[in-house]
Structure 1
Amino acid sequence: RTGRPLVASYHTPAAEYAGYLAEGWLMNGVARAGNAYERWFLDRADRVIAPSDTAKAELEARGVGPVSVVANGIDIDRFAPTDPAAFRARHDLPAAGERPLVGYTGRHGFEKQLSDLVRAVDGTDATLVFGGDGPARKTLEAQVAGSDADVRFLGFLDREELPAFYSALDVFAFPSPVETQGLVALEAMACGTPVVGVEAGALVETIDENATGYLYDPGDIQGFRAALDRALVEHDRLAETCLSRRESMGVERAVDALAAVYDAVL
């Protein structure tokens, strides 16, 4: 220790990734070790910052504290409604009005439960678009090959392309139950795209039910499909609400809140 205050930020539950290192009882041991290390490190801090009330409650249940909530913000100048016509053409996607576009971008990890999204759109007239990559991609591609779903894998997208990606979608789908906030959901909403997500983790805070999108119960594929259908029907109303809340998503508010935490520990 140097005598200077230490502020630590928490964004990812390490135990959720134990399955990449081991299986069975050994996986449980790795998860416990990850939790123990997190607790040891965070206990050294004078203040811990969590990006959501959900993450704060999780930390406090493990005996970590004091915890302050500072939600991450996004660059709302960058993430704004954009004409997606060129993006659609470049990636050979259906033109506007031809088919509903449902999509996700981010890490293709098994913990994200992206296979639920493929099952939810299977048998519908929607085109599912995946941006990004990760260890679950080959499994997803094999799942798609055995389904009737129209799915496109775009791979990693340049950051400059993301506003057009979000703007091209009719609905952004987010089945991940492990989010401590879910920045891609904010990016989508800032572009005027409603979000359908699982009612787990911090998505219950990030998505305002019946205002910026809809939630569904974990593992309920029919409920997931129904939420997507409802968001497509209610798209214009939900999109209007998303756009009306852009200012609240801005990084400036996050910076001010973060500065207040640092001031408090000095």
Structure 2
Amino acid sequence: MDAVAAFTDTYLPTVNGVTYTVKTWRDTWRARGGRMDVVYPGSDDYEPDHGEYPVRSLPFPFYEGFRLGVPRIPDEVENADVVHAHTPFALGLSGLRLARREEIPFVASYHTPTGEYAAYLTSVESFEDRLEGLSERYERWFFDHAETIITPSEVTRRYLLETVGVDADVTVVSNGVDVGQFAPVDTTAFREKYDLDGPLVGYTGRHGFEKCLGDVVDAVAEADVDATLVFGGDGPARESLERRAANRGVDARFLGFLPREELPAFYSALDAFLFPSPVETQGLVALEANACGTPVVGVDSGALADTVDDGVTGYHFQPGDVDGFAAALRRTLAERGRLSRNCLDRRDGISVGHAVDELAAVYERVRR
């Protein structure tokens, strides 16, 4: 198999969709006998494994958990057949430099539209719009250097081509889910640990303002269902969510960041996973929930328009339509048994093994 040098501006111990994807692809690639080095911003809170190469980094003041790595190419990263950049910033540029220096193919993944996070840098709308425009121009410059760009969904592919305006080839490869880990499990111990009873609905992931999580609280209040709302994860929007739940009289529990080994029990305990975020490029947590047999109530926007198969693995609602969200939640709970069976029938197609098969085909194609 090809020797791959992967460069990413976000990695462990930070837990997010990019980190998860890089780590699971690397583990699967190595299990098949390949080599996939990872260059990432170092942190005292994570001890690198063999083939993981941290570089010096500093905390990014505007986005909690994100670190700025010093652009460099570790000497240990050599004899690569393909360079794969998972982010377009400092270390993504290092990957581009390595590919040019060694004259080897450069592949880039598009995980997150950088312009969506302009609000973290400024609250002035006109300046925010300018930052988004600058972000798109930079993305266009960076990604047009790639032999191919990998996106996790067809919606994101269209966004890159039509909105960002890239000229490079764009290929869809799902991030994939470790279906060996994410499967229905007994939830008794999990419920006892967190003192959870009865029907549950909820969300886990970063509590970012861009994810519109306040709509989750409002929809549960409007739906008037007999269920406890459970949030896993953390982030800058948590305090406002706690206040909103208290003001709306919603029985909401905030569990904080959950160990990854507890996530299958979290998903399995839910009767519905609630996902209003319009900024997802795939919505990996939705697929993890489906792999555990849990249907998703997701916004009909961004990648979730495709990730949630309406009427099959969950139901959609329109962005900002709280009444529609509440109606979709009630319908999902009423049809939970059928939707859950459909989710389990689709496990093989969303597996990380299937994703890495497609990734290997991309690497082979760009090396010809």
Q: TM-score range by the shorter chain?
A: over 0.9
1:20 aligns with 2:120: yes
2:360 to 256, 259, 262: 259
Among the aligned pairs, what percent are the same residue? 59
Q: State the match for 1:92 in structure 2.
A: 195
- Measured against aligned partners, the alpha-carbon deviations of 1:61-100 in whole angstroms (never above 9, x if no partner) come to 1221210111111110100001111111110111xxx3x2
8 A contact 1:102–1:128 mirrored in 2: yes
Task: Give the number of aligned pairs.
Answer: 262
CA distance in 2, matches of 1:12, 1:28: 17
Letter in 1 for 2:188: A
CA distance in 2, matches of 1:92, 1:241: 29
Corresponding residue for residue 288 of structure 2: 187
Q: For 2:300 and 2:206, how far apart are their aligned partners in 1?
A: 19
Kindly indicate whether structure 1 or structure 2 has the higher relative contact order, using CA contacts under 8 Å at least 6 residues apart: 1
Distance in structure 1 (CA, Å) of the matches to 2:281 and 2:178 = 19
- Work out the CA distance in 1 between the residues paired with 2:272 and 2:281: 21
* TM-score normalised according to structure 1 size: 0.96
Query: What SS does the aligned partner of 2:248 have?
Result: coil
Aligned to 1:63: 165
- 2:263 counterpart SS class: helix
Q: Which runs of 5+ in 2 are unaligned?
A: 1-99
Q: 1:102 aligns with which of 183, 189, 201?
A: 201
Distance in 1 separating the partners of 2:132 and 2:243 = 28
Q: Match of 1:155, as an amino acid?
A: G
* C-alpha distance in structure 2 between counterparts of 1:105 and 1:111, whole Å: 15
Rounded to whole Å, the distance in 2 between the matches of 1:144 and 1:252 is: 39
Distance 2:121 2:113 in 1: 15
Instruction: Classify the secondary structure of the residue corresponding to 1:146.
Output: helix
Q: Which residue of 1 aligns with 2:15?
A: none
Q: 1:50 and 2:151 equivalent?
A: yes
Corresponding residue for 2:259?
A: 158
CA distance in 2, matches of 1:246, 1:5: 32
Give the Cα–Cα distance (whole angstroms) in 1 for the partners of residues 228 and 112 of structure 2: 30
What is the Cα deviation at residue 139 of structure 1?
1.1
Map 1:135-154 onto structure 2 (within 5 A): 135-154=236-255
Asked if 2 retains the 8 angstrom alpha-carbon contact of 1:22 and 1:30, the reply is: no
- Tell me by how many angstroms 1:37 deviates: 1.6
* Residues 102, 171 of structure 1: 8 Å contact kept: yes
2:184 aligns with 81
2:301 aligned residue: 200
What residue identity is the alignment partner of 1:218? Answer: P
Q: TM-score, normalised by structure 2?
A: 0.70
Computed over aligned residues only, the root mean square deviation of the Cα atoms, in angstroms, reads 0.9
Partners of 1:136 and 1:15 in 2: CA distance: 19
> What's the CA shift for 1:46?
1.2
Measure the CA separation in 2 of the matches of 1:205 and 1:144.
29
Provide Cα deviations, 1:16-59, integer angstroms capped at 9, x if missing partner: 10000012211112212221221111011111111110000000
Q: Deviations over 1:108-165 (max 9, x none)?
A: 0011000000000115222110000001111111111211111100000000000000
| 1:196–1:228 contact (8 Å) kept in structure 2 | yes
**1:108-119 map, 5 Å:** 108-119=207-218
Residues 107, 134 of structure 1: 8 Å contact kept:
yes
Separation (CA, whole Å) in 2 of partners of 1:44 and 1:136 = 36
Aligned residue number for residue 91 of structure 2: none
Aligned amino acid, residue 289 of structure 2: A
Instruction: Point out 4+ residue stretches in structure 1 off by more than 6 angstroms.
Output: none
> In structure 1, the residue corresponding to 2:239 is in which secondary structure?
helix
Q: Does 1:231 align with 2:329?
A: no
Q: Deviations over 1:154-186 (max 9, x none)?
A: 000000000000000000010001111111001
Quote the Cα distance in structure 2 between the aligned partners of 1:202 and 1:76. Answer: 21
